Structure 1
Amino acid sequence: MLHQYTKEFGYNLRLAAPVMLGMLGHTFVGLVDNIMVGQLGTAELAAVSLGNSFMFIAMSLGIGFSTAITPLVAEADAENSFSRGKSAYKHGLFLCTTLGITLFLLVLAAKPLMYMMKQPIEVVELAMPYLNLVAISLIPLVIFQALKQFSDGLSMTKFPMYATLIANIVNIIINYILIFGKFGFPQMGIIGAAIGTLVSRVVMVLFLWVLLGNKKKSKEYVTNISFFVLESKMLNRILSLGFPSALQMFFEVGIFTSAIWLSGILGKNPQAANQIALNLASMTFMVAMGLSVAAMVRVGNQKGLKKFKDLRRITLSIILLTFLLEVIFALIFVVFNESLPAIYLDEKDMTNLIDNTEVIGIAARLLIIAALFQISDGIQVVVLGALRGLQDVIIPTIITFIAYWIVGFPISYYLSLHTSYKSEGIWIGLLAGLSVSAILLYMRFNYLSKNLIRKEVDF
């Protein structure tokens, strides 16, 4: 009985692995920034956290929207329709470029909000110049997402992974040189980290574009494009798929961003601790994201073949695999809850010893809660991918809003600001929101998949 699910594990992991590594690459840029900036002090780490909180919201919209490109390109590729595939790529690239520029301008316009959010003034002053440069990187980041989703649609999933790897190497080198002032360069602190992020994202776009332009399968798609010759039909199709997906990601990223802001109200040390725990949790989340894409692809295939029993079995197999992996991550967080946060800070820095010790202590407690929501978080994102494969986007968007903003955020707000739970209260709210999301999304999938099987039998 169990074998019918476990036999799918190997294929699911092979399908998801390049996506996992690519997503981990994005997160690794933040990990490197946090570790290197953490050596400067807790105020600098909190400033990067505050600046990136604005970026996370903008990125969620850009990344979520770009996912509309993949199924359209994949569908055209399966039908050997080059013209439709190129049209989907071109229109998707146009919309993502436009969205990237718009998000950049919105982040700049939102900067004054930092002074109205009851954040430590020291942290705000450090975050302002950092955000200026990182905001610009939104443009190449969203353009890269368009190229990535197109590449995934052609089943060329390794190339975005290569581009992300190169970008990480560039980011590490520039960070080391500019943050700490090596090889004769000035010591720029967190501004150096911002420059590293910006340059690495530009390199990422150029590298992937060159790769795709030199491969036989993709060359004709990415060259000779009439960029501003557009058709309303394709624009509307991408918008109808991309907008709900962007909202789903926005609602989830939004509650994690609210955790950054709430922790900032508690002080710079709680905010730095929150950033450490959040960064560690996001690394493991990328594994679930890869499995979510595998669920979306495999469910879409089975839906097209009208094999609904296999559709349900394969999805349950991916959910089981996700559960097992997330249990392993949870155990790692529990066992190493004190040693993992210590990676981010210099424990030998006697000047900041009290602050660093407090940050590590708070982060260690947050990782215990993170261990619990690993399972909920992994399951909800995989089921969400399966529902996208079924092209069910409206109800899941409503579910994510209810789970995170009707359930999760009020709990985080009340427990953190009106009880002694403080930082832990924020993460208890996150746990509640993710758990409700996982349960409701699974109920939705369970209903739809059984209904499809029932109709198949009746037919």
Structure 2
Amino acid sequence: MYQTHTLQEKMKLFFTIFYPILVTQVSFYLISFFDTVMSGRAGAVDLAGVGVGSSLWMPVYTGLSGILLAVAPIVAQALGARNIQQIQRTLFQGVYLAVGLSIATLILGAILVPTAVDGMGLSEEGKRIAKGYLFALGFGVLPMFLFNVLRTLMDSLGKTRVSMLLILLGLPINVGLNYIFIFGKFGVPAYGGIGAGIASAITYWLLFFMAFAFVRNGKPFLEYRFLRSFERLLWPRQKELLQLGTPIGLAIFAEVSIFAAVTLLLSSYGDNIVAAHQAAINFASFVYMLPLSASSALTIVVGYELGARRLKDAVRYAKIGLSLCLAVSIFSGAF
């Protein structure tokens, strides 16, 4: 991150941050995409089960991950103000929040998921696959949220290419694990759609360990000495993160729920209809990644300028981001 003076410099910096975030968002979404597509090769029932499971999970995941996005503006402002101690403190508080959200998610999931899936119009086999997929995915909830905190930290410091490279490494790993666990290769039983949940959970653990190692020992972050000292839980900081992040999470939850609700409503028409809809909606969902990535990039550059008390520059960045999102809306609508 650095100070810019002209509109051209601002656009260059904005898009330098935006493009890797877009690739990261799309790649992260592709993990779920390949879960459904590769499950479809195992059969329509498997695709329907994974589709319903994914539709129940994605709004929850994106909404809770939205809360963790509160780390970005706080870190960006601290970076603009050159307050390294604040960045350290925010990282630890984000980790504590991620652990808390993971525990709450697993408890609520254990209580609500069986009832929710049983209320769908799937076949008994489809319901079994949906429950099994979500159960297996549950083992990856903690590393997924922790990875999101570390990824947000890296992005907020302007190191968006690092998080992009990590997720690009994770994507082929997920595809390979899907191949093994869905279709039963190398002596592993064929789990069908449930295998996609197992593969994703393992992938999230690997992504977390890679991100942890990079933030702690990677060359771009050595000067910050992240994760080398202990920071205790601070309730005022937790309150600050929740006050800032909860509206973000609720907004993203509402947006993603629009997509997910259609899949759930169609469940009463049976496995084949749900499978067909899930195959189609995967492609439409890619368009959503553009404004979501632009908003993440805006959070970073605007927060950085606010931290440095350059309000006019922050406004100019906001206009650049809003113009991009308007252009994307017009193009996608016309297309």
Letter in structure 2 aligned against 1:282: S
Residue 204 of structure 2 corresponds to residue 201 of structure 1: yes
Taking the aligned partners of 1:132 and 1:81, their CA distance within structure 2 comes to 41
Q: State the partner residue of 2:107.
A: 105
CA spacing shift, 1:306–1:315, aligned 2, 3 Å: closer
Partners in 2 of 1:320 and 1:237 — Cα distance? 30
Distance in structure 2 (CA, Å) of the matches to 1:89 and 1:6: 32
Q: Which amino acid aligns with 1:60?
A: T
The answer for the alignment partner of 1:89 in structure 2 is 91
Q: Partner of 1:305 in structure 2?
A: 310
Shift of 1:26: 0.8
1:57 maps to a residue whose letter is P
Matches within 5 A, 1:171-250: 171-219=174-222, 220-226=224-230, 229-250=232-253
Superposed counterparts of 1:55-74, under 5 Å: 55-74=57-76
Larger Rg: 1
Give the unaligned 5+ runs of structure 1.
332-370, 372-459
User: CA separation in 2, counterparts of 1:78 and 1:323?
Assistant: 28
**What is the aligned partner in structure 2 of residue 163 from structure 1?**
166
**Counterparts in 2 of 1:258 and 1:87: CA distance versus 1, 3 Å:** same
Shift of 1:64: 0.5
Alignment of 1:45-444 (within 5 A): 45-113=47-115, 114-219=117-222, 220-226=224-230, 229-301=232-304, 304-307=309-312, 311=315, 314-325=317-328
Contact 2:140 2:200 in 1 (8 A): yes
> SS at the partner of 2:178?
helix
Q: Deviations over 1:265-291 (max 9, x none)?
A: 232222112212221122232122221
Cα distance, 1:9–1:272 mapped onto 2, change above 3 Å: farther
Find the aligned partners of 2:278 and 2:9 in 1 and give their Cα distance.
38
**Residue 39 in structure 1 maps to residue 41 in structure 2:** yes
Residues 73 and 299, structure 2, Cα contact 8 Å, conserved in 1: no
- Structure 2 Cα separation of the partners of residues 225 and 55 of structure 1: 34
Pairwise CA RMSD of aligned residues? 2.5
Mapped contact 2:91–2:153 kept (Cα < 8 A): yes
Shift of 1:69: 0.6
Q: Relative to 1, partners in 2 of residues 1:39 and 1:217: Cα closer, same or farther, differing over 3 Å?
A: closer
Q: Secondary structure at the match of 1:39?
A: helix
Question: CA–CA distance in 2 between the matches of 1:203 and 1:218?
Answer: 20
1:76: how far off?
1.8
Structure 2: distance between partners of 1:19 and 1:92: 19
Give me the whole-angstrom Cα distance separating, in 2, the residues matched to 1:233 and 1:9. 36
Partner of 2:3: none
Tell me what 1:12 maps to: 14
Whether the aligned pair in 2 keeps the contact of 1:6 and 1:317 (CA below 8 Å) is no
| Cross-structure match for 1:435 | none
User: For residues 154 and 10 of structure 2, what CA distance do their matches in structure 1 show?
Assistant: 24
Task: Report deviation, 1:216.
Answer: 4.7
Displacement of 1:120 in angstroms is: 3.8
C-alpha distance after superposition, 1:254-309 (max 9, x if no partner): 2322112101123222211221222112223212222122233344455541217x
- Structure-2 separation of matches of 1:6 and 1:218: 28
Percent identical among aligned pairs is 25
Q: CA deviation at 1:207?
A: 0.4
11-20 or 166-175, which deviates more:
11-20
Q: 2-side partners of 1:5 and 1:305: how far apart?
A: 14
Please give the per-residue CA displacement for 1:414-443, whole angstroms capped at 9, x wherever unaligned.
Answer: xxxxxxxxxxxxxxxxxxxxxxxxxxxxxx
Equivalenced residues, count = 326
- Kindly provide the CA deviation profile for residues 348-398 of structure 1, in whole angstroms up to 9, marking residues without a partner as x: xxxxxxxxxxxxxxxxxxxxxxx6xxxxxxxxxxxxxxxxxxxxxxxxxxx
Q: In 2, distance between residues paired with 1:301 and 1:80? A: 10
Task: Give the TM-score normalised by structure 2.
Answer: 0.88
Q: In the superposition, relative to structure 1, how do residues 6 and 266 fare at CA in structure 2: closer, same or farther (>3 Å)?
A: farther
Matched to 2:299, the amino acid is M
**Residues 58 and 107, structure 1, Cα contact 8 Å, conserved in 2:** no
Bigger Cα displacement from structure 2, 208-217 vs 68-77:
208-217
CA 1:255–1:330 in 2, change beyond 3 Å: closer, same or farther? closer
| CA-to-aligned-CA distance 1:8-45 (integer Å, 9 cap, x gap) | 65543222011111111111111212221111222111
Offset, 1:231: 2.1
Amino acid at match of 1:209: F
